[in-house]
Structure formats: structure tokens, C-alpha cells
Amino acid sequence: MKRTFTGLVVLVFLSGCQDATSEVAESPEPTMTVMELMVTVMAPATDTLWGIDDPQTDADWQVFVDAANVVILAGETIKAGGTGPNDNKWASDAAWDAFADTLIGAAIDAREAANNKDIEAMYTAGEVLYPPCEECHIQFNPGVQ
């Protein structure tokens, strides 16, 4: 599982690069739809954060650090919009940015909690993470699960 999130972090990071050897572009052009990013990157990472049970080892905790990093990077990426028909319209809405910022903040808290091996703080971060996801879906893409 750790390798999966490391690969996703690289994928999200490289999506904002001009090419694999260049520096990050000032205004990266989206390379996929927001829905594709949500399904392939964000959903697996948030499911991991919400699914925390009883990590015992450093490697167990690292899975949650990695998932939080993916959510942070994906959150920053969705702020730019995507290639879907409504993605750029959505990204220009102040509420979109607010939802993304709340999501990113919760993921930063989850990363800190995982680094500190604090399961209660992980639960709290997960509780903060859920509402902006749900509210964003209701406002911008009703009916999406």
C-alpha cells in the first residue's frame, strides 16, 4: 500500500510539471478531469485516512502520512480546475477554493497526527475532512457518491 501512495504522490506532482525533468510550471495546465483525479487519486487516499484502525509499526503509520500527502497535493491540484466541461467554472468559484482549503488543512492535520502516531488526532482530522468533501459534491456535482 505504501508504494501505491508514493506513486500517486509522484503522479499528482508530475501532473503540474512541464515534463518529467523540468521545474514545476508557474500555472500548471490540468492534464485530467477533476472527476478522474477524484476517482484515481483523492478517493483512495481519503478512504485510507478514514479507514485508520490500529497502526502498530512505523510502516503502518507511514501509510497514513503518505495518504495525507496525496490528499494535500490532490487538493492543491483541484484548485486549478481540470479538463472536464465544468472544471474551470467550478475552480473559479470562491466556494470551490474554500472547500479545497478546508480539505487541505484537514489533511495537513492528519499528516501531523500520523507523524506523531496520535490516533485520536487522526480521527479528528478525518471528521474535519469529510464535510468539505460532502458539501462540495452537493454544490458542484450533485448525485456523485
Looking at per-residue pLDDT, the higher value among 89 and 5 belongs to 89
What are 78's three cell numbers? 483541484
Identify the pLDDT of residue 6: 46
Question: pLDDT tens-digit profile of 115-135?
Answer: 999 999 999 999 999 999 899
The DSSP string of 54-72 is ---SHHHHHHHHHHHHHHH
Looking at per-residue pLDDT, the higher value among 21 and 32 belongs to 32
Residue 110 CB partners (closer than 8 Å, separation 6+) = 49, 64, 67, 68, 71, 122, 125, 126, 129
